[in-house]
Amino acid sequence: MDEKSHSNIDLKHINECLQDCPDIVRKQVFIDNDQQAVFFYIDGLADFNLIQRDFINPITKMELKQLSDKARVNNLPCNETSLIYDSKEVIESIVSGNSVFVCEALPFAISCTLMDVEKRGIEEPETEKNVRGPHEGFVEYLPTNLAILRRKVKNSKLKFKSTTIGEQTRQTVLVAYIDGIANMEIVDAVFDKISELQIDGLPAIGYIEQSLISHPNSLFPQFLATERPDKAMAALLEGRIVIIQEGTPVVLVAPVNFMSFFQALDDYSTLWVHGSFLRMLRFIALIVAILLPSLYIAITSFHYYAVPLTLLVPLAESRAKVPFPPIIEVLILEAMVEMVREAAVRLPTYIGTAISVVAGLIIGEAAVQAGIVSDLLIVIVAATAVASYVIPSYDMSLAIRILRFIFMITTSIFGIIGIVVCTALTLAHLLTIESLGQPFLQPISPMTTRDFKDTLVRMPIKALRRRQGMTRTDNKFRGGSDDGKE
């Protein structure tokens, strides 16, 4: 801030604005025995012992003339000392958790940062388990998240562009990138869009995501949300950007493609054959999660002649006990599975586990005995549910679950043709989606053959010298200059 020759600080106005704020401590003192002054800090955010030792005691031992000396004030032992010349900025500094000294006889207020915030310990995210990677995750406290990233990327090229969002909440949002790898046009464009957001507050980072995506009505996520620092570090090294918001352990990674939602750090922690096997398993699970219930509806409703006779007879016997058409039968069971899944997520762990077991018994054995669903459908829905759990990204898994219902309803009307048409429309939609201006289906469309080394099959690390083309980085080769060869 530019220094000013006069003070715009009104102690009476500050006290009026901070009325009915019992968490804000006001410690009144006198300088030179006659000049009234007040220390402000928030109980629960500030470290009282440090404030008393490094802020209050040194200031109260100084005379007014000494306090007017800016050079002397800046040498106070407390951390991040700054001078403030406006009452509004004083209030903003106080509610941000800083300790502030105000004396109307001085042309400025003195602010310092001595915070002691209660924060959650660093633990592995519940929704993103890992086998061979680090078992740590981001937390809600922003400085801790920055320290985790800085510990992983010990390089001055790791940069953070900061802005404050929220007319009421005044939350800090950071755009992290590695200078020299990330494309600065993308970084600046994202930062400018975030800075222009007009909103009261950000209860979750999804508010930022929905403000930035180019296709808000699409089922498919266009940003990768993660709580894993190792995933964020890998994205930064690829030339992607990471958006970090104060107050949430979830960060956003962009630009990403469709394949990014089916990759995990374990793919790179094992041999390339093992990693490739896991990726192919996930894509098989994707096909099963979308198509299996629809195929059951199509075969039992329209194309029973496609089933071998040895399987058709028991299928017919099982279906003969069910009074509903296949689509109603499937919708009943799928809806029950989705409700059980949601209940298990929202309830406490011990209650959610019990609910899952009881609901599984009811949906399975009791539903068949009651003649509501057929035996084969129980197997199909169970296989579909397991397949949807294999997808690493929760957002993509949710999109697949919704897409499955669209496929089922269309198939119940048009049969196997409905599956073909829905598949074609889904692929066409994926071709139109972009993530920060980059094609969502890259490297399939547009075709980039060199990027196929890290898609469905993960080639050996030595073959992955070149970074993904969708990041539009000028530093195209990992671990060195662009003078290397692929």
Cis peptide before 446 (omega within 30 of 0): yes
Cis peptide before 255 (omega within 30 of 0): yes
Model confidence at 5, in pLDDT bands (50, 70, 90)? very low
The residue from 92, 112, 132 where one domain ends is: 112
In a domain, 199, yes or no: yes
Task: Decide if pLDDT at 97 tops 90.
Answer: no
Average pLDDT in the 351-372 region?
68
| Same domain membership, residue 419 and residue 315 | yes
The whole-angstrom separation of Cα 55 and Cα 58 is 6
Task: Decide if pLDDT at 73 tops 60.
Answer: yes
Query: How many structural domains compose the chain?
Result: 3
| Same domain membership, residue 275 and residue 234 | no
The residue from 199, 221, 256 where one domain ends is: 256
In a domain, 281, yes or no: yes
Model confidence at 484, in pLDDT bands (50, 70, 90)? very low
Q: Evaluate if pTM is beyond 0.75.
A: yes
Q: Quick one: which H or E segment has residue 31?
A: strand 24-31
| Same domain membership, residue 97 and residue 33 | yes
Average pLDDT in the 360-366 region?
67
User: Poorest-confidence range of 302-311, 409-418, 428-437?
Assistant: 302-311
User: Poorest-confidence range of 93-107, 157-171, 450-464?
Assistant: 450-464
Q: What is the model's pLDDT at position 353? A: 66
3-state SS assignment for residue 422: helix
The CA–CA distances, whole Å, from 234 to 223, 224, 229, 256, 305 equal 15, 13, 9, 12, 50
State which of 63-72, 416-425, 447-456, 469-478 shows the largest mean pLDDT: 416-425
| Bridge partners, 30 (sequence order) | 36
In a domain, 59, yes or no: yes
Instruction: Compute the Cα dihedral for 145, 148, 149, 151 and give only its sign.
Output: positive
Note down the domain range covering 30.
11-112
User: Poorest-confidence range of 164-173, 364-373, 464-473?
Assistant: 364-373
User: Poorest-confidence range of 83-92, 138-147, 344-353, 411-420?
Assistant: 344-353
Q: What is the model's pLDDT at position 120? A: 81
Q: What is the dihedral of CA 144, 149, 151, 157, to 10 degrees?
A: -130
| Same domain membership, residue 409 and residue 284 | yes
- Do the beta carbons of residue 322 and residue 373 sit within 8 Å? yes
Instruction: Give the whole-number percent of the chain exceeding pLDDT 90.
Output: 37
Task: Decide if pLDDT at 358 tops 80.
Answer: no
In a domain, 366, yes or no: yes
User: Poorest-confidence range of 42-56, 110-124, 268-282?
Assistant: 110-124
In a domain, 326, yes or no: yes
Residue linked to tokens 């507050």: 201
Model confidence at 162, in pLDDT bands (50, 70, 90)? very high
- Do the beta carbons of residue 212 and residue 193 sit within 8 Å? yes
| Same domain membership, residue 49 and residue 79 | yes
Task: Decide if pLDDT at 4 tops 50.
Answer: no
Mean pLDDT of the chain: 86
Task: Decide if pLDDT at 320 tops 80.
Answer: no
The whole-angstrom separation of Cα 120 and Cα 245 is 16
Average pLDDT in the 359-365 region?
67
Tally Cβ neighbours within 10 Å of residue 202: 20
The whole-angstrom separation of Cα 401 and Cα 186 is 32
Average pLDDT in the 106-114 region?
90
- Do the beta carbons of residue 398 and residue 405 sit within 8 Å? no
Q: What is the dihedral of CA 314, 318, 319, 320, to 10 degrees?
A: 100
Q: What is the model's pLDDT at position 376? A: 81
Q: Smallest Cα–Cα separation from 134: which of 234, 206, 6?
A: 234
The whole-angstrom separation of Cα 471 and Cα 180 is 12
Stronger pLDDT, 394 or 74, i.e. the higher one: 394
| Same domain membership, residue 207 and residue 280 | no
User: Poorest-confidence range of 4-18, 87-101, 236-250, 454-468?
Assistant: 4-18
Task: Decide if pLDDT at 356 tops 80.
Answer: no
The residue from 256, 291, 311 where one domain ends is: 256
| Same domain membership, residue 191 and residue 97 | no
Q: What is the model's pLDDT at position 74? A: 80
Model confidence at 2, in pLDDT bands (50, 70, 90)? very low
In a domain, 368, yes or no: yes
Q: What pLDDT digit, counting tens, does each position of 255-296 carry?
A: 999 999 998 888 888 888 998 999 999 999 999 999 999 998
What type of residue is 127?
Answer: T
Q: What is the model's pLDDT at position 284? A: 94
In a domain, 404, yes or no: yes
| Same domain membership, residue 385 and residue 277 | yes
| Same domain membership, residue 212 and residue 240 | yes
- Do the beta carbons of residue 115 and residue 45 sit within 8 Å? yes
In a domain, 394, yes or no: yes
User: Poorest-confidence range of 106-120, 121-135, 469-483?
Assistant: 469-483
| Same domain membership, residue 157 and residue 61 | no
Q: What is the model's pLDDT at position 405? A: 94
3-state SS assignment for residue 396: helix
The CA–CA distances, whole Å, from 198 to 76, 114, 132, 244 equal 37, 30, 42, 18
**Within its chain, how far is the Cα of 430 from the centroid?**
22
| Same domain membership, residue 424 and residue 287 | yes
| Same domain membership, residue 103 and residue 49 | yes
